Amino acid sequence: MPTVLSPDEVARLLGATTSLKHQAALSVAYGAGLRVAEVAMLKVRDIDSERMLLRVERGKGGRYRNAILPADLLILLREWWKVGRRQGVMHADGWLFPGQHYLKPISTRHLYRIVAEAAHAAGIAKKVGPHTLRHSFATHLLEDGVSIRVIQALLGHEKLETTAFYTKVATRTARAVISPLDKLALLPGPQPQAAPDG
């Protein structure tokens, strides 16, 4: 079973990052549901603010897809663009998250380390990696009632069975189901108290 963070844990993890660049990278993983390699390979030009989409050109199996670009994520990425420009590491044709040298993207290994350190700083005992944020994205959408077919498209899954896996970890969805037993009203409710004598 994949590790899934609660929304509160995700917020704590993102808040525990040590730089705007790290917070932005992890926010993309959670906010758009991207794989770690997809986050690393994003370029500045992949942000489509007109259509509020992120273009994923190097998805699994070399497939192209569009991922969602939440409004708050766009604000965060614009802030990172300004800071990165001041630092001299951001270029219009460059990587969204440059590595040690601005001509190379951030490494997936570095992203794993960023997540682990932020989780530790946030007091999250679960074993987490960048993929945990993708799992949490899918599970939270499912719990909020988003169609599994829509989630399949957002994640870039070829097979529905892969996405259906998240139904096993969507606890809020399971808790919201009313058992048919509860509708039968077989069990007695609280009995009225007998009036005291006298």
Q: Catalytic annotation on 168?
A: no
Tally the C-alpha atoms within 13 A of residue 118's C-alpha that lie toward its C-beta.
30
54: CB partners within 8 A, 6+ apart: 28, 32, 34, 42, 46, 47, 48, 66, 67, 68, 69
Give the span between the Cα atoms of 179 and 145, in whole angstroms.
18
Q: Is 112 a catalytic residue?
A: no
- Which one is catalytic: 60, 65, 91, 110? 60
The verdict on whether 35 is a catalytic residue reads yes
Task: Identify the active-site residue in 21, 22, 135, 157.
Answer: 157
- Which entry of 43, 55, 91, 131 is annotated as an active-site residue? 131
Which residue among 21, 22, 30, 134 is the active-site one? 134
Cα(first)–Cα(last) distance of the chain, in Å? Answer: 62
d(CA 94, CA 45): 8
Question: What one-character DSSP code corresponds to residue 168?
Answer: G
User: Does the active-site annotation cover 120?
Assistant: no
- DSSP lists the bridge partners of residue 66 as 55
The candidate with the shortest Cα–Cα distance to 129, out of 6, 31, 2, is: 2
157 is catalytic: yes
- Please identify which of the residues 21, 22, 35, 135 carries the catalytic annotation: 35
Mark whether 131 is an active-site residue.
yes
Q: Catalytic site residues?
A: 35, 60, 131, 134, 157, 166
